[in-house]
Structure 1
């Protein structure tokens, strides 16, 4: 049992060492195949219709069976029973074990598929991502039947569970990386946009531009009214209103008066869109329809010049120069002036729109940068945190320990390390179930984290039910104090463990402690090995205790929880 658990921890550590799905699956299949001693391991993924396929390049077969037709390479294998039952027994987290396909009472069509790949015996375990059935981890024997042992099936199931955790973590990382890439692309696009409008005048304000234009044009043209008319959005040029006007006081104002003129949309809009200018010396001799003429009379218009205002590629509005007291013969120079003015005004309209867009884009760019920073922070946290317990993961532990080792070697100060794990956790899992086991790990992590008071102290999940505490600038006595506090804090949780320990009804931990001043001739690996050996000694002494490696001699001298204070201070 201990050998199998150690093998499982090794497989899990290798799986957790990568966040790339392809690498995770290749590692899992290869290591599981070797450890179980079977002839092939493969990963099968369900599709939306509960059919599925074997994931390409994510299987491992022993020599002699790797030349058979490959299960991977995205081989489709739709099981009608699984499709009809939407995953069948796997949805209930049940394994399937067949010692001999010819003695299992399988249907002929199923047997033919198995024979295609020379499968004689198989064991399968479901892979869950959260509550969702994702796929199956399968072990196959080709050469002969195989009586699957409980430990083999249990090992396969445990690897499948870890694959589920790894897939979920890798998918979250992939999503975060994709969001970060999208935000970076948006950042580049926004910067190009900002550069392209850098020459637009920042002071360009449409309201000011409108009022200045109508006032100056009426003055220069000596007209009775000059107005800017804007069509309503979505009206197809049938309705709108004057948004700016300068008029002599004796005539009726047109500002903000709603105008609806279907005749204009029908007869004139298309011409203005094409760039034509309307120059009318006498509206009563121009042949207007009655509907249009009534609108002109409403505003006392006797003569007019009307020029299109284009925004983008659509007719935005009109620049109107009106003579209200009498008809007027417009000079060619006046018409050319209005035409040129309208062209510049259209440019200003587009500049103003670009300016508004640039401000909006600038806000979006700021938001994108903030979102990118948040995504990067989440990504960094994701790569450093254990998904279940939310403390540091093995990757984070390795980085911090190496960094502190080098720092304290320069400072010639103590570095202490505590390794501890939950006693009889395998039995706890078997008795209470994996969900309760996960909750136990979470509570142990939280309680241990509360013990650590200094920002420099680090708690990490070392693997499985094993945790590690890095204590910079802490000698052996200080490390022992922290270990005792962790041991007491976990006991105070009073997590039930009835029937698994005599006279110990609650979950306990065993701890291995080591402390030394880093030196050139020593290594981080040696520090870990000594802490691991101390933990092993604590287990050997009956668990629910701590052991400290009390010296740097080749043969370690243990300081244990039952040692006297005198022993503790002895060289």
Structure 2
């Protein structure tokens, strides 16, 4: 007989006797203890499965930035995990009414045509409108096992009956601090005894949906801003290049001074001035902004001129290119008011030519003869007209230059904003928003690149996977906000250990982190893992639900020389198995997956 079977046979034969003795002594029998053990085992297995389901759903939510994918995945997973017949998403409007979003609903077969629910049905609940979200505004859930025994108001029950709803559980969805909507689980066919764990699961999922909505909205805003900035930048660059290619830009002051000096020098006249209109005055006001004049005559510079007749009668003619040539102001048939203005500036003869800025009358080029009359030759008149035309072109160039400089500055600001937006987009895509270390997506990209590089170099690659021991108990005991703070502290501390630029610390998911160590063998990886474990222990983060009374880590290590015949997933699997073995050893433990004969430097 097999010796190992003897204790089992003896225990079987003695069980009735031991049970009788236990009853006489008032102690639990072996059968009772075994039944209790079996029940507890089943409960623990259910809790473990529930937690795995929660992390699976949350991981799927965080793995996507597309809202439709997030909601479809969430409602489907939630519906099946809770064992209900429908999961819907209700979104509030500005007046606290709202509608069910049909595109985001999941319904079990047989109930997809139940009423109108899920077909973008508008459901304006007067209570929610009056109280601006009611209980949901205070982050409360609403759970009803049976609408006929829950004491609901008559109108509320009638609405639920209309959609054949018998039981429901709802949880609010917040985006930042604002109530966005409701995640609702419905049972049509029968009442439902909602478990605390189910309601908690629904609440956790709704919280993750809020975070996903916030992230998606921020991403959409950044993408829209980046698109707008790119379009603006392209337009401004085209404008800048076009103007630079076909226009010769001139400084306005230099343009004015060069013009008046060259005209007076060429025509040998007494004064040349540039008169600019105040455009808001309808050409009735203006002043001389540049002047070249003989010293014996009064300066007209910056003197204000008011001439209502000009604005009413003459401006339109200059607008169309007319010029004025006067040999003697006293023989030109001018009105007395006009002669008074000319006498104020000691003018006896003049040529007045319009200056245009594009299609608008900007001002006048004024050539004055002050001491006596003057017969202006055709060549002189032609010269002045040609010069005025060139000045108008240069004036427009000058204005375009000013605009171009302003646009160039705006372009520079736009490009800076675009770069900032791109940086934010890159960080959003690579960093975990809570811990500010690389996220799962960037971990996958980095590991794939290092794997391919080390395949060529035939060097070691090590991976450390670690997570927080009893983190669910920590969250349950201290709250999720404290749990988030704990994750941040651990990420920050581990980051201080992983110092090499070639290494990467990433949040793998939930409370699990990963460290990629290129060109590092078993001993080097073990050193880093022990340093991380010790550093977290030294933090002394209180954890009253564990034997050690502080937060600890379990770590799994895997080391390989990458091969073209394998994939990085194998390394992840080995590290994960090592982490599992570390947990089996009692946690607060480092476990390496295999023994390596030759080490790379660390």
Give TM-score scaled by structure 2 length.
0.86
User: Whose radius of gyration is greater, 1 or 2?
Assistant: 2
Q: Is the 8 A contact 2:249 2:398 kept in 1?
A: no
Q: Is the 8 A contact 1:100 1:145 kept in 2?
A: yes
Q: Is the 8 A contact 2:142 2:169 kept in 1?
A: yes
Hey, what does 2:131 align to over in structure 1? Answer: 85
- 3-state SS of 2:466 partner: strand
Q: Is the 8 A contact 1:263 1:289 kept in 2?
A: no
Select which of 437, 444, 452 maps to 1:391: 437
Hey, what does 1:146 align to over in structure 2? Answer: 192
Select which of 290, 294, 297 maps to 1:244: 290
CA distance in 2, matches of 1:13, 1:290: 90
Give TM-score scaled by structure 1 length.
0.91
Query: Is the aligned partner of 1:493 residue 2:526?
Result: no
Q: Is the 8 A contact 2:248 2:397 kept in 1?
A: no
When structure 1 is superposed on structure 2, of 211-220 and 125-134 the one drifting more is: 211-220
Query: Is the aligned partner of 1:344 residue 2:409?
Result: no
- The within-5 A match list for 1:223-234 is 223-232=269-278, 234=280
CA distance in 2, matches of 1:95, 1:263: 79
When structure 1 is superposed on structure 2, of 351-360 and 381-390 the one drifting more is: 351-360
Q: What displacement does 1:416 show? A: 1.3
Hey, what does 1:13 align to over in structure 2? Answer: 59
When structure 1 is superposed on structure 2, of 377-386 and 274-283 the one drifting more is: 274-283
- The within-5 A match list for 1:370-449 is 370-449=416-495
Hey, what does 2:357 align to over in structure 1? Answer: 311
Query: Is the aligned partner of 1:116 residue 2:162?
Result: yes
Select which of 63, 72, 80 maps to 1:34: 80
Hey, what does 2:579 align to over in structure 1? Answer: 535
Hey, what does 2:530 align to over in structure 1? Answer: 484
Q: Is the 8 A contact 1:43 1:136 kept in 2?
A: yes
Q: Is the 8 A contact 1:264 1:292 kept in 2?
A: no
Coordinate RMSD, CA, aligned: 2.3
Q: Is the 8 A contact 1:59 1:71 kept in 2?
A: no
Q: Is the 8 A contact 1:281 1:303 kept in 2?
A: yes
Q: Is the 8 A contact 1:54 1:76 kept in 2?
A: yes
Q: Deviations over 1:402-438 (max 9, x none)?
A: 2222222222222111111112211221222221111
- 3-state SS of 1:402 partner: helix
CA distance in 1, matches of 2:338, 2:157: 85
Q: Is the 8 A contact 2:90 2:181 kept in 1?
A: yes
Query: Is the aligned partner of 1:272 residue 2:318?
Result: yes
Q: Is the 8 A contact 1:457 1:469 kept in 2?
A: yes
CA distance in 2, matches of 1:300, 1:234: 28
Determine which structure has the larger helix proportion and give its number. Answer: 2
When structure 1 is superposed on structure 2, of 213-222 and 182-191 the one drifting more is: 213-222
Hey, what does 2:12 align to over in structure 1? Answer: none
- 3-state SS of 2:192 partner: coil
- Given the superposition, is the C-alpha separation of residues 5 and 290 from structure 1 closer, same or farther in structure 2, using an over 3 Å criterion? farther
CA distance in 1, matches of 2:157, 2:268: 98
Q: Is the 8 A contact 2:140 2:171 kept in 1?
A: yes
CA distance in 2, matches of 1:333, 1:269: 25
Q: What displacement does 1:366 show? A: 3.1
- 3-state SS of 1:440 partner: helix
Q: Deviations over 1:127-160 (max 9, x none)?
A: 1222222221111111122111111111111111
Aligned length: 552
- 3-state SS of 1:246 partner: strand
- The within-5 A match list for 1:494-509 is 494-498=540-544, 500-502=545-547, 504-509=548-553
Hey, what does 1:546 align to over in structure 2? Answer: 590
When structure 1 is superposed on structure 2, of 507-516 and 331-340 the one drifting more is: 331-340
Q: Is the 8 A contact 1:306 1:320 kept in 2?
A: yes
- The within-5 A match list for 1:20-419 is 20-202=66-248, 204-232=250-278, 234-286=280-332, 291-331=337-377, 333-419=379-465
* Structure 2: unaligned runs, 5 residues or longer: 1-46, 597-602
CA distance in 2, matches of 1:495, 1:91: 33
CA distance in 2, matches of 1:88, 1:179: 35
Q: Is the 8 A contact 2:461 2:560 kept in 1?
A: yes
- 3-state SS of 1:435 partner: helix
Hey, what does 2:512 align to over in structure 1? Answer: 466
* Structure 1: unaligned runs, 5 residues or longer: 553-571
When structure 1 is superposed on structure 2, of 190-199 and 394-403 the one drifting more is: 190-199
Q: What displacement does 1:120 show? A: 1.6
- 3-state SS of 1:474 partner: coil
CA distance in 1, matches of 2:183, 2:451: 40
Q: Is the 8 A contact 2:59 2:509 kept in 1?
A: yes
Q: Is the 8 A contact 2:99 2:122 kept in 1?
A: yes
When structure 1 is superposed on structure 2, of 68-77 and 131-140 the one drifting more is: 68-77
- Given the superposition, is the C-alpha separation of residues 61 and 326 from structure 1 closer, same or farther in structure 2, using an over 3 Å criterion? same
Q: What displacement does 1:118 show? A: 2.0
Q: Is the 8 A contact 2:249 2:394 kept in 1?
A: no
- Given the superposition, is the C-alpha separation of residues 161 and 227 from structure 1 closer, same or farther in structure 2, using an over 3 Å criterion? same
Q: What displacement does 1:320 show? A: 0.8
- 3-state SS of 2:185 partner: strand
